[in-house]
Structure 1
């Protein structure tokens, strides 16, 4: 006799379906979400399944396996897309006041914005470096696993109703100019000046599967690792460690930490309250 269907059984089946879907994404498209925090993945996949009109995760898996054009839509749910310019202004104020004086001593600089999403943090950093007179000697690397997000970042276009928040954040970060100097407003959109992208390299890069691609003076990866499990957080921090020379800087999100990482001894706290660390050699 078949076992009765219960909420527990249904939940167990859904867990199996989700793990199979994540495995399928890895095998078919080489996107690896298998070590992302499961609670976050479940929440995002549930939203994707419902909004895309599927009753089961198995049906969603079949669709994305057989129709590659469906992949960007699913990635839009699985990758972090929420950001704003100068988010957490005190972080950027600490970069401006505590990190920039050290970076001024270098003839050339490389800055990596890891998990840049649709570009808000990238443009924040470029504006800050321009205001501090360091933009011309800096190459910015903006990376994400979501090509659609990278395309949006490269256009630099945002809804005009977000600009008031961006402007206030910029002011609180210690901005030395008006944010309106950097964009043109028309038809409900703000288009940021293309000169802000002249020293930017946009690239598809996964913190889960890809390797280090260069030596950086500053790595800023904020509010990305909170979606990773402990193992994956450790891998990402290892990439950042290997990307930074002695005295290079790492900035994380307000809820992120290196405390329990096997790489923690490779860093020291530089601005503790803003989660800015400096690379050391032991």
Structure 2
């Protein structure tokens, strides 16, 4: 398995070597079974000689499970506690790191529209998976998910009906393309890539739980260096900066919701 991860890194520059090993092991075993390889060595050989195999394996190694306004109390805290601070800036940059299929991106775009901040904001939606970025850019989700999205939006303090932002078609709900007019979609790896802009808000939720301690520290250092002074960082419900080498660079802003504010150490 380690040789397979090395091959992915050397051949395609995707680095999963410091992802949480239990999660990687489980996902690679699932890929081996469903892609009908007898061994990891056979999977490695196919990967090295067939570039189309990369996207298939990335689908297993990257986590693409999300929903709009996931953990509504988090977005309610963004709306009620963070937005008043963001209003003081003439322009804003927001980074959704590990944007997956775009559910969280659309959540922020809707929230910022409802709060009157959309016109002064540029959103950066990044992921290492080209398929995920393509899904996010389309903004189409299956209809059976919309009821859950709607309930989350309401619990997150939504000021309108979620149905105002989508129409039905293509067998799903198609979210208004104007929500993505101020979005930059880009391939970016928290493992290997560097700071690319100065941000006022970074949201990276339920990504760090798949990293080992070394990689978590690298990502948090990247976020620290990307934030303006007093900028905000949002993490997932099971994530924390408490044991990070960069903990002194952040203060608890909304402890329960895992929202932190950058400070000078």
Deviations along 1:9-56, whole A, 9 cap, x unmatched? Answer: xxxxxxxxx000000000000000000000000011011111101111
Equivalent pair of 1:161/1:188 in contact (CA under 8 Å):
no
Aligned counterpart, 1:10: none
Aligned counterpart, 1:238: 221
User: Paired residue for 1:76, among 50, 56, 59?
Assistant: 59
How far does residue 188 in structure 1 lie from its aligned partner after superposition?
2.9
How far does residue 246 in structure 1 lie from its aligned partner after superposition?
1.1
How far does residue 186 in structure 1 lie from its aligned partner after superposition?
2.4
1:195 aligns with 2:178: yes
Aligned counterpart, 2:165: 182
Equivalent pair of 1:64/1:70 in contact (CA under 8 Å):
yes
Listed as ranges, the gaps of 5+ residues in structure 2 are: none
CA RMSD, 1 decimal: 0.6
Aligned counterpart, 1:127: 110
Aligned counterpart, 2:139: 156
How far does residue 187 in structure 1 lie from its aligned partner after superposition?
4.7
Alignment of 1:247-258 (within 5 A): 247-258=230-241
Aligned counterpart, 2:26: 43
User: Paired residue for 2:92, among 109, 112, 116?
Assistant: 109
Q: What TM-score results when the alignment is normalised by the length of structure 1?
A: 0.93
Q: What TM-score results when the alignment is normalised by the length of structure 2?
A: 0.99
Residues matched between the structures, number: 265
Alignment of 1:10-89 (within 5 A): 18-89=1-72
Equivalent pair of 1:28/1:65 in contact (CA under 8 Å):
yes
Listed as ranges, the gaps of 5+ residues in structure 1 are: 1-17
Larger Rg: 1
Equivalent pair of 1:25/1:31 in contact (CA under 8 Å):
yes
Deviations along 1:60-87, whole A, 9 cap, x unmatched? Answer: 1111111001110100000010000000
Deviations along 1:165-215, whole A, 9 cap, x unmatched? Answer: 000000000000000000011253001000000100000000000000000
> What is the SS of the residue equivalent to 1:106?
coil
Aligned counterpart, 2:188: 205
